Structure 1
Amino acid sequence: MEHQFFLKLGISAILGLIIGLERELKRKPVGLKTSLVICIVSCLLTIVSIESAYVFEKPDHITMDPLRLAAQIVSGIGFLGAGVILRRGNDSISGLTTAAMIWGAAGIGIAVGAGFFLEAMTGVILLIISVELLPLILRLLGPKQLQEKEILLRLKVSDQHNITDITNQVKENDITLKHIRIKDLDTNEQFIQMKILVHQKKPTTDVYYEVRKIEGIRSIEIESL
């Protein structure tokens, strides 16, 4: 029986390694080591949960739930996933995919610990396809909305009467205006924040140079979301 324990832990380590490498290559906060720990420990706790149900079986045919300890992994891993979800100053949310991958790594570990090797391997393959290959296919063959990226523009203008002309000229450069916010500054200038959509292949620097040519803009700050 002991060789099965080592086999399960070894398989969970390999599958956790695959998930961790995907995050590591993208320089995400949860990388190789974290994914390995999550997958291996989830597998270990599942093994302990199953085995303890039979080792510590109570008399009079009262049995324990073999997966009672493993069931707590799914809820407990949520605290770790919440730690990687960030809200930026521009109101955008990041880290959701990484949090989902943490939850997925725990699920893979549980599946391996319960003896579902083929299902766990298939799950990892589908996870990598969903995160890496599918978005690429949708960007190439999907609708226009999936081929666009969001860019945040922060502009300062000196004449409030030029705001309408500036926004119209921005939209003339194959740019879709998604959201705009205008604020008066103490320096008698106006601050304009625009969330725009451009084609995925269009470099952010090209957007900067196109918008910088518009008259009436005192300063520009651009951020790719």
Structure 2
Amino acid sequence: MEVDSVWMITDLETALRLLLATLLGGAIGWERERNNHPAGFRTHILVCVGSALIMLLSIYGFPQFMDEDKVRFDPGRIAAQVVSGIGFLGAGTILRQGLTVSGLTTAASLWVVAAIGLAAGAGFLFPALFVTLLALVSLELLNKVEDWLFKNRMRRLLRIRTLNCPGKLGEVATLLGKGNISIRKVQLDEGESSEKEMEMVFIVRFPPKVEPMEWVERIRQLEGVREVHLE
């Protein structure tokens, strides 16, 4: 087979693509690590460079068979398994505590760095660089933009200790909905010391013209509510 065949690649080009995947995955991993998320710097690097290697293997790993008769070659067949396989790794970063689910963004970032690694391995370098930039903007800058846009509707922590009875969570959520109060997260802790009581923790956003303490008092008046704290 000729050296300049489309199915062959130099060692230098291979090293450059793997190095680029390492740098791009590390950039996104650094942001996750800096903000104390489950999958950080090393994990993102390994996912990205591993994806790049699999893509390189899928395209350039079997040049000796290209000239064989009756050989059908699909350069994306092996690499396609990364897309489904990365879901198992991402699922490990998703945590559920009560009704709170966290880690979805980190799982998504792992999926993105896998795609970046595949693009880098295939020599699709500009999209790999550009998607890395977009991912960093989404992860790092949009949080600050969101806080600036909604500075009059900052998130507040609402803790409610109430009797453990069916429908109480829905009752509180319905009351908050009547005030157009946005519920961002909910955590339910039934506690170990007393099965008769439970604590509900809401992360909420109050509309600009809504007085938070007025709604705290309304929640206190609900039957079975023992304590309400707004932080």
TM-score (norm 2): 0.69
Which structure dedicates a bigger proportion of its chain to helix? 1
For the pair 1:10 / 2:19, whether they are aligned, the reply is: yes
Write the letter of the residue equivalent to 1:21: W
> What is the CA RMSD across the aligned residues, in angstroms?
3.8
Shift of 1:87: 1.1
| 1:193 maps to 2:222 | no
Q: Structure 1 residue 151 and structure 2 residue 145: aligned?
A: no
Whole-Å Cα distance in 2 between the matches of residues 66 and 196 of structure 1? Answer: 47
- C-alpha change, 1:152 and 1:87, in structure 2 (3 Å) is farther
1:39 aligns with 2:48: yes
Provide the C-alpha distance between the structure 2 equivalents of 1:135 and 1:219, rounded to a whole number of angstroms. 32
Identity %: 34
Mapped pair 1:135 → 2:143:
yes
Structure 1 stretches of 4+ moved >6 Å = none
Shift, 1:118, TM fit: 1.0
Alpha-carbon separation, structure 2, partners of 1:151 and 1:176: 12
Alpha-carbon distance change, 53 to 149 in structure 1, aligned in 2, over 3 angstroms: farther
Secondary structure of the residue that 1:69 maps to in structure 2? coil
Change over 3 Å in CA distance of 1:175–1:19 after alignment to 2: same
The reply on whether 1:115 has 2:107 as its aligned counterpart is no
* Equivalent residues of 2:158, 2:228 under 8 A apart: no
Q: Which residue of 2 aligns with 1:202?
A: none
Deviates more, 1:134-143 or 1:25-34: 134-143
> Deviations 1:111-145 (Å, cap 9, x if unpaired)?
0000011110000000011112123213322597x
1:92 aligns with 2:115: no
Residue correspondence of structure 1 range 45-84 to structure 2 within 5 A: 45-57=54-66, 59-60=68-69, 62-84=71-93
Q: Secondary structure at the match of 2:61?
A: helix
Q: Per the alignment, in what secondary structure is the counterpart of residue 78 of structure 2?
A: helix
Give the 5 Å matches for 1:17-36: 17-36=26-45
Q: Which residue of 1 aligns with 2:111?
A: 103
Tell me how far apart the structure 1 counterparts of residues 19 and 132 of structure 2 sit (CA, whole Å).
Answer: 15
Judged with a 3 Å threshold, the aligned counterparts in structure 2 of structure 1 residues 150 and 103 are, in CA distance, closer, same or farther, namely farther
Residue pair 2:182, 2:205 contacting (<8 A) in 1 also: no
The CA deviation at 1:149 is 2.3
Q: Residues of 1 paired with 2:156 and 2:108: CA distance? A: 22
> For the Cα contact (< 8 Å) 1:53–1:65, is it kept in 2?
no
For residues 77 and 156 of structure 1, the distance between their equivalents in structure 2, rounded to whole angstroms, comes to: 41
Contact 1:53 1:64 in 2 (8 A): no
| Residues in 1 aligned to 2:69 and 2:13: alpha-carbon distance in whole angstroms | 30
SS class of match (1:47): helix
Structure 1, unmatched stretches of 5+, are 158-166, 200-206
